A and B are shown apart, each in its own frame.
Chain A
Amino acid sequence: MQVPVIFTQAGFWRGVKRALPLVGGLSPFGFVVGLITQHHGLSLAQCMAMNAFVYAGASELVALANWTHPAPILAAAFAALVVNLRFALMGPVLAPWFAGIKPLPRYASLAMLVDHSWAISVTDMRNGGHDFGLYVGISVPLWLGWMAATTAGFLSANTLNLPPNHPLFFGALSAFVALLVPLWRGKSDILPWLVAAGVAVFMAHAVPHTSWYIVSGAISGCITGALLETKRHE
């Protein structure tokens, strides 16, 4: 971790290359978010503003599901909080990278943090990577692709109607499944992962439509892993 963080053009383009398949996998999800935004009576400019600045599809869907006229400011903010709380857990893991750059680009980069850029960067960091260009190279196409997909969804809301269980929509979940694979480090992950999954499934039923299940599942898994390691060292 003592290796200084660098930013190279090669790293940036490596990130762009890694992001392109994710843009494809996520665009059906972005398309749906755009469709639903139109259904709730937002204008194109409002749809673009939400996706540009909130840039967190799951929380937008939860907020839109409870949308009213005039807009529910507090309820929307609360939806954003409970669904996006998981991001607060991600920042610290990438801290060695974020700490190595100037404050302005650092907070701009944090503003673009999404699950996918984080997973790829963490995997790279674990393998000794220290090129922040990779993170930026993933983040920029993901954001542009998200804007394109949500806008396209908004504009085609009145003409196109895919059934909600269309196989294309599986692309978003499929992207998460694919990114999970390289995060596997070996046998010591088995029990923490089982605990994380079990707690998450329980909490998803207990407190639906939030991300408490992700946060509580992840923290339970982490505690399990740390306890097991401490026990093994004794």
Chain B
Amino acid sequence: MNNTLSVYLAIAAMALVTFACRSGGYLLFSRITPSPWLRRALAYLPGCIFIAYVVPALMSGPPQNWGGAAATMATMALSRNVGLSIAAGVIALFVIDGAAGFF
């Protein structure tokens, strides 16, 4: 197959599948009436989905990332400011890396 065409077909396939993921869950749930139990379970989803993303990502990265995450969390808990919290995490990593280089 033509190389350029195959790249665009792959991109189109990825875009289609991704849109199906984004809209599919909503479509499914708008057609059924979720039971009270299911609705209770869904209420736990936001926290669980993010913790399920964050913890393995931290465990597979370098150990200093835990320091950065702690700085981000503490800043977020105190300020509720996302931008400040991201900056605090990145700055903490610069500081930890700098300190590690110093010793």
| A residues neighboring B (CB under 8 Å) | 18, 20-22, 24-25, 42-43, 46, 49-50, 53-56, 59-60, 63, 69-74, 76-77, 79-81, 84-95, 98-99, 107, 110-111, 113, 115, 118-119, 122-123, 165, 167-168, 170-171, 173-185, 189, 192-193, 196-197, 199-201, 204, 213-214, 216-226, 229-230
**B 30-82 contacts with A by CB, 8 A:** 30, 34, 37-38, 40-62, 65, 68-69, 72-73, 75-77, 80-82
Please name the residue on chain B nearest to A51 by beta carbon: B11
Question: A201 and B56: CB pair below 8 A?
Answer: yes
With both chains docked as a complex, state the minimum distance between the C-beta of B42 and any C-beta of chain A, in angstroms.
6
Residues of A within 8 A of B9 (CB): 71, 73
Other-chain contact of B46, A122, A173, A223 (Cβ < 8 Å): A122
Question: A181 and B40: CB pair below 8 A?
Answer: no
Other-chain contact of A174, B14, B38, B45, B86 (Cβ < 8 Å): B86
Other-chain contact of B68, A99, A170, A221 (Cβ < 8 Å): A170
Given contacts A91-B25, A111-B23, A192-B47, contact A177 B13 (CB under 8 A): no
Question: B42 and A93: CB pair below 8 A?
Answer: yes
List 17 additional contacts besides A91-B29, A174-B85; criterion CB under 8 Å: A43-B4, A46-B11, A49-B8, A50-B14, A60-B14, A71-B6, A73-B13, A77-B17, A88-B24, A88-B28, A90-B22, A91-B26, A113-B22, A119-B50, A165-B62, A167-B94, A222-B41
Question: A25 and B40: CB pair below 8 A?
Answer: no
Given contacts A93-B42, A221-B51, A222-B48, contact A107 B86 (CB under 8 A): no
Question: B2 and A189: CB pair below 8 A?
Answer: no
Question: A176 and B25: CB pair below 8 A?
Answer: no
| B residues neighboring A (CB under 8 Å) | 1-19, 21-30, 34, 37-38, 40-62, 65, 68-69, 72-73, 75-77, 80-86, 89-90, 93-94, 97
Given contacts A90-B49, A200-B55, A225-B40, contact A73 B10 (CB under 8 A): yes
Chain A binding surface, main DSSP class? helix
